[in-house]
Amino acid sequence: MRRMGSFCVVFAVAVAGCSTEDDPLAARTYPFGPIDIPGGSEDIGKCVQFTLHNDQPLFVNQIELTTGAGFHHSNWLYVPEHVFPGPDGIFTCDDRSYDQVSAGILGGVFFAQSTQAPHETQTFPEGVALKVPAHSKIVANIHLLNTGDEDLHLEPTMKITPIAEDVVTTLMASVTFEYHPLNLPPQKQSRFSVECDLTERPDQLAAKPDFKLYYALAHYHEWGTGLTIEAVKPTGEAATIYTTKNKVGDVLGGMLDPQFSMAGYTKLRLTCDYFNDQAQTLYYGNGLGEMCIFNAFSDSPYSWAGGALDEDPGVGTDVGGVMSFSRGCQVYAIDATR
């Protein structure tokens, strides 16, 4: 298998899964690309897909993404192989009407890359896995950004390590919350915070915030100074689940050790901090824009998603020199046991 893996890396001209038919538990390496990013360019319209050719569900314990400079950010999802039809490889997302929200509903979150991290591994503990249904493919919208003068040439790979179903003790489902209506005032610190009540489900599903969080990852761009996610009790008492003050380019994600149990908590509070050193207001977006996204995996039978999703930034308040904004939350819970 090792020889097979290096073969794939060397001849990374097209997407081609490299696993041996005889060993369904062998790690598989999927090269994609090559991707050329001209100096001083940005491309947010490209997607990549590779088909897993799995007749059986795949219980994935580890995912390793190797990209390189210029591969700014990417969100990877698994979907049924017949949706967004077309051959494996790089394509223009709009040509197949790809959108991440539909992909999340049809499938689920597979892997989220930290901003500008050229190499990153998402590893769950022993016996913990993400279940990818039979006949799936992996798809991602990739954000390419080359701020340098030199052209960049990438031959990225994704390596997927499954484990046997009979050793799986816990299945993972995604948790994704974001703050969308960002507006960062120029030459100023700002803070955006949204509190989401996971017990106020509009359709009163059986979904309950009684899960444990295993893996957490923050996403923001170069003006971000930190992201914090807290659990809040009905009494208002809060505990930090995950926070980062790292610089973008570091891996802003990892296993939570210990795992965070939501027992007794009913809300999630997401807060993002920024310093905008530009002369103009910055909004949500790629390039000259910001983001505030929390991705996690939990042992809930539901995929949880939501946050401040409207377009209206509202009116900020200056709190000790920090322009502070807060918006209402929308919460979604999707059955993840399919």
Q: In the complex, which residues of this chain contact Cu ion (CB under 5 A)?
A: 73, 291
Our CB check for Cu ion shows the closer of 15 and 144 to be 144
Dihedral of alpha carbons 243, 175, 69, 129, sign = positive
Shortest Cβ 285–Cu ion spacing (Å): 8
Shortest Cβ 222–Cu ion spacing (Å): 10
Q: Which residue bears the tokens 């999630």?
A: 268
Residue nearest to Cu ion (CB): 291
Shortest Cβ 112–Cu ion spacing (Å): 10
Our CB check for Cu ion shows the closer of 34 and 287 to be 287
The β-bridge partners of 18 are: 29
Our CB check for Cu ion shows the closer of 128 and 291 to be 291
Our CB check for Cu ion shows the closer of 103 and 291 to be 291
Q: Could you please report the per-residue DSSP string of 214-280?
A: EEEEEE--TTEEEEEEEEE-TTS-EEEEEEE-PPBTB--EEEEEEEEE-TT--EEEEEEEEEE-SSS
| Tokens at 322, concatenated | 């920090």
> Do residues 299 and 330 touch, judged by C-beta distance below 8 A?
no
Distance separating alpha carbons of residues 188 and 51, to the nearest angstrom: 46
Shortest Cβ 281–Cu ion spacing (Å): 17
Our CB check for Cu ion shows the closer of 276 and 300 to be 276
Shortest Cβ 291–Cu ion spacing (Å): 4
Phi then psi for residue 251, to 5 deg, are -80, 115
